[in-house]
């Protein structure tokens, strides 16, 4: 039975210039109807499931009202297994004491906080409203509720962003003993504001900044376990995301959500209130491409005693072994340098 659940909440109160995630403006009535559909789907399709990991992503799940969050979370509260991980993506701007109490009361035990940067000029440029005081306040509120398993997202690659600024952001996270850090390289998505403005990034600076991030996080005791993710100890790795990177089944609910169950990938599109479900059965080649593309993102790689990973490896053995980035060691296959993963992946795409 599927052990992971992803719910997409496609609502934001403002839009960041770099982002083209599936989301629209927060409207209370739309959210009310949306949540009813989510809960109906949960009750219909997953009445008997209990999940090891639940992930509420967005959009901005915590821009919902307290009443809406309470309704959603109380319906999920008893859908968890022992040793569960229950994450909610949050924007620091909307965190309040009342909201943190709702999280705590309803078994949420991991917070993924979008910070991106603390630099005021860049925040303004990307239309975000989380200066340092707001983030500090959010962290204090969360910690008071003993919500200590916090992950923070940063983005590097903005124009005029210097190594000093990135160091400042990282030092801030160290000072607040953040256990998990995601550092994403700025991607210019065609439908985002930056995409429309033809925003240009500088690959050489980005590469230098990534080198710095890797070195600095290592010095401070964070282990890179995936292309963009670092954890203080293994227990702080995102169990939900690791399950999806390992192509373990996950259920998905909501407009814009992808799932993988019973060997089928599926995707909800349509509109926020009229979802359309598309299912795709992949050919063997497509499935193995998917397994390797996801699994090789992990520093540890894929364990060949697992039947699916072994089949994927055997299927693309020739292509993989033709690259000096490919490593096969102690029954694991992995990429020698995660920064160059794309160069390995194009061998079999
Ligand atoms: C759904 S958002 C996080 C929650 C909340 N909406 C917020 O922004 O605070 C997920 C994360 O994706 C990352 N992200 C979104 N668009 C990106 C892009 N174009 N390039 C790099 N990272 C991006 C950001 O780090 C963001 O925090
Ligand atoms: S980064 Fe977060 S807040 Fe900004 S538009 Fe994307 S989902 Fe919304």
pLDDT for res 281: 87
Q: Is the CB of 91 under 6 A from ligand 1?
A: yes
Give 117-164 pLDDT, tens digit per residue. Answer: 999 999 999 999 999 999 999 999 999 999 999 999 999 999 999 999
Cα dihedral: 312, 315, 321, 327 (round 10):
10
Q: How confident is the model at residue 217 (pLDDT cuts 50, 70, 90)?
A: very high
Model pLDDT for residues 16-62, shown as the tens digit of each residue:
999 999 999 999 999 999 999 999 999 999 999 999 999 999 999 99
Closest-lying ligand 2 atom to the alpha carbon of residue 15? 5
**Residue 102 confidence (pLDDT):** 98
**Residues near 134 by beta carbon (within 8 Å), at least 6 away in sequence:** 92, 93
Q: Which ligand is nearest to the CA of 89?
A: 1
- Burial (CB < 10 A; 0-12, 13-18, 19+), residue 72, is buried
Q: How far is the CA of 114 from the centre of ligand 1 (A)?
A: 6
24 near 10, Cβ under 8 Å? yes
Residues 298-331: tens digit of each pLDDT: 999 999 999 999 999 999 999 999 999 999 999 9
* pLDDT for 288: 97
Instruction: Name residue, tokens 């052990």.
Output: 3
pLDDT per residue as tens digits for the range 81-113: 999 999 999 999 999 999 999 999 999 999 999
- Closest atom of ligand 1 to 20 CA is 16
Q: Which ligand is nearest to the CA of 206?
A: 1
State the pLDDT confidence band at 185, using cuts at 50, 70 and 90: very high
Give the rounded percent of residues in the chain with a pLDDT score beyond 70. Answer: 100
Mean pLDDT over each residue of the chain, to the nearest integer: 97
Q: Is the pLDDT score of 342 beyond 90?
A: yes
Ligand 1 pocket, residue 60 CB under 6 Å: yes
Q: Ligand 2 pocket, 59 CB below 6 A?
A: yes
pLDDT computed for residue 224 by the predictor: 98
Average pLDDT over residues 253-272: 96
* Assigned architecture for domain 4-245: Alpha-Beta Barrel (3.20)
What residue segments make up the domains of the chain, in order of their start? 4-245, 282-349
């Amino acid at each position: 039975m599927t052990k992971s659940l992803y719910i997409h909440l496609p609502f934001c109160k403002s839009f960041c210039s770099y982002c083209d995630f599936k989301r629209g403006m927060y409207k209370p009535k739309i959210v009310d109807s949306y949540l009813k559909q989510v809960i109906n789907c949960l009750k219909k399709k997953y009445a008997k499931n209990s999940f090891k990991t639940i992930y509420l992503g967005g959009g901005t799940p915590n821009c919902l009202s307290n009443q809406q969050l309470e309704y959603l979370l109380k319906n999920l509260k008893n859908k968890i297994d022992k040793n569960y991980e229950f994450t909610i993506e949050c924007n620091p701007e909307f965190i309040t004491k009342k909201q943190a109490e709702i999280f705590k009361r309803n078994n949420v035990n991991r917070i993924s906080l979008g910070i991106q940067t603390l630099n005021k000029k860049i925040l303004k440029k990307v239309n975000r409203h989380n200066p340092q005081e707001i983030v500090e306040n959010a962290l204090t509120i969360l910690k008071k509720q003993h919500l200590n398993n916090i992950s923070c997202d940063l983005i590097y690659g903005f124009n005029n962003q210097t190594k000093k600024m990135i160091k400042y952001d990282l030092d801030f996270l160290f000072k607040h003993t953040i256990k998990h850090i995601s550092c994403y390289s700025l991607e210019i998505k065609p439908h985002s504001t930056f995409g429309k403005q033809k925003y240009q990034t500088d690959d050489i600076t980005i590469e230098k900044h990534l080198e710095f991030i890797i070195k600095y996080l290592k010095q401070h005791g964070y282990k890179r376990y995936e292309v963009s993710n670092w954890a203080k100890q293994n227990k702080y790795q995102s169990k939900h995301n690791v399950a999806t990177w390992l192509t373990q089944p996950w259920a998905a609910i909501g407009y814009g959500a992808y799932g993988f169950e019973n060997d089928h990938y599926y995707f909800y599109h349509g509109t926020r209130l009229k979802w359309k479900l598309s299912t795709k059965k992949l050919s063997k080649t497509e499935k193995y491409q998917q397994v390797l593309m996801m699994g090789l993102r992990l520093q540890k790689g894929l364990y060949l005693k697992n039947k699916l990973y072994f089949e994927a490896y055997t299927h693309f053995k020739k292509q993989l072994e033709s690259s000096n980035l490919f490593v096969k060691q102690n029954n694991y296959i992995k990429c020698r340098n995660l920064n160059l993963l794309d160069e390995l992946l194009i061998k079999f795409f």
